[in-house]
Amino acid sequence: MDQNFQVVVANSLHFGFAEAICEEMAESAKARGTGIAKRSHEYLELKMQEGKAVIALAPDGRWAGFCYIECWGHGEYVANSGLIVAPEFRKFGLAKLIKNKIFELSRTKYPNAKIFGLTTGLAVMKINSDLGYEPVTYSELTQDEAFWQGCKSCVNYDILMSKGRKNCLCTAMLYDPKDHYEPEETSAKFKEKEKSYARLLHFKQLGLIKALRKNHLLLTVYTFCLSLFAH
């Protein structure tokens, strides 16, 4: 397959892809057993119109991937949200291309903002580390209520609230433009701890998520282990 994808800042010419992207986001979250804040195709169109989204296009013109920017705390924090790659275009390194582009766009539009993300995926954690993100505790994320309200559509919302929004099954990662390591350093740190991260994430993927929901002690142990890597 030709892997010559175009990764560009989305605009109104891409409105026609919004509904399909929304549907794939929902299906992907369902397959993972986790959730992301549900967005309508109108919302994605707004992001495209504002120049706050990135879309990847295959050589034949089909959409191949997408991601958008959200701002919180009056611009103090920025999240690169809704990263999705169409199933037929996975395994080509497209997620990294999209993340690089949306990170670059975020730094251009909001040079002083802290950029953060929540993920349950080891691959995304690696990509973030290569960009200079570091694992952090939830207390270092935006406290904007609008952001946390978006977590209500996640199947793990009850876990988040039971822990007082201090931790959950997602790993929080942050890039602080005023206080950060170089990408080479964060990437090296990730490689040192990658096997430990993989074991923890595999633990969840084995179907123990239900047990974590029911057993708060087990959840506490799990999230404590995650927090050890946040420094």
Cβ atoms of 65 and 82 within 8 Å: the answer is: no
Give the C-alpha distances (Å, rounded to integers) separating 86 from 22, 24, 89, 101, 206: 11, 7, 6, 17, 24
Q: Could you tell me which of 52, 78, 171 has the C-alpha nearest to residue 123?
A: 171
In the chain, the domains with their CATH numbers are 6-228 (3.40.630.30)
Show pLDDT as tens, one digit a residue, over the chain (231 residues). Answer: 447 899 999 999 999 999 999 999 988 877 766 556 678 999 999 999 999 999 999 999 999 999 999 999 999 999 999 999 999 999 899 999 999 999 999 999 999 999 999 887 888 889 999 999 998 999 999 999 989 888 887 777 887 888 888 878 788 999 999 987 677 777 887 777 777 767 666 665 554 455 555 555 555 555 555 555 554
Q: Could you tell me which of 116, 38, 125, 135 has the C-alpha nearest to residue 73?
A: 116
Q: At what angle do helices 18-32 and 41-49 cross, to 10 degrees?
A: 120
Query: What is the sign, positive or negative, of the torsion defined by CA atoms of 40, 43, 47, 49?
Result: positive
Cβ atoms of 138 and 172 within 8 Å: the answer is: yes
Element (H, E) at 146: helix 145-149
**Phi-psi map region of 73: left, alpha, beta (phi>0 left; psi -120 to 50 alpha):** left
Torsion of CA 76, 38, 230, 184, to 10 degrees: -70
- d(CA 191, CA 197) in angstroms, rounded, equals 10
